[in-house]
Structure 1
Amino acid sequence: MKTYTGDRTIDGVQVMVDGAPLDPRFDLKTLSELGFEWGYEGTAPTQLALALAADVFGDDALALKVCDTLMKRVVANFANEWVMTEGDIKDAVSDQVALK
């Protein structure tokens, strides 16, 4: 199961998946050219939610469908440092998607 971490550093925010940088998925949709952010509702947190959903589900259409919900329910409430598993992300949007 994948583990996602976020941290605020002196160089800015850093989001990792199993120790590697998380792809922001600008190819799918660019919501914030500045990249990721969290702790409030907005375009940069939605970019993070989109990237998380795309990585977890491996389905671009589904990631686009659930990213706003994931942002509002989870990403907007992150503290400066956070850790989530793939299962946590699936649970957060389980009412919107039939999980296999």
Structure 2
Amino acid sequence: MGSTIGFNWGYSGSGPSQLALALVADALGDDDRAQEHYQSFKFKVISRLEGDRFELSEDGIRKTVAALEAERGRGR
């Protein structure tokens, strides 16, 4: 997977996928977990962002991933 346009948000394409993967991997410090959850994070968070600016905290990203894991029945 790769984006030729770089990071993006507000829809569900390759740019938002790249952004979701980068944010989740950085926040978790765990590339395997990031690979497992970035698509769900993209649909739940990144694709819904609007405008030219947004702010996501590391803690917020971690909590969202934890909620995604809990939804799957695999809380950490």
Q: Could you say which TM-score interval applies, normalised by the shorter chain? A: 0.7 to 0.9
Q: 1:83 aligns with which of 55, 63, 71?
A: 55
Higher helix share: 2
RMSD between aligned residues: 1.2
Higher strand share: 1
4+ runs deviating over 3 angstroms: none
The separation in 2 between residues aligned to 1:51 and 1:33, in whole angstroms, is 15
TM-score by length of 2: 0.82
Structure 1 alignment gaps of length 5 or more:
1-29
Alignment of 1:16-95 (within 5 A): 30-80=1-51, 81-95=53-67
Cα shift at 1:41: 0.8
The separation in 1 between residues aligned to 2:15 and 2:59, in whole angstroms, is 23
The separation in 2 between residues aligned to 1:93 and 1:54, in whole angstroms, is 11
- Secondary structure of residue in 1 paired with 2:60: helix
TM-score by length of 1: 0.64
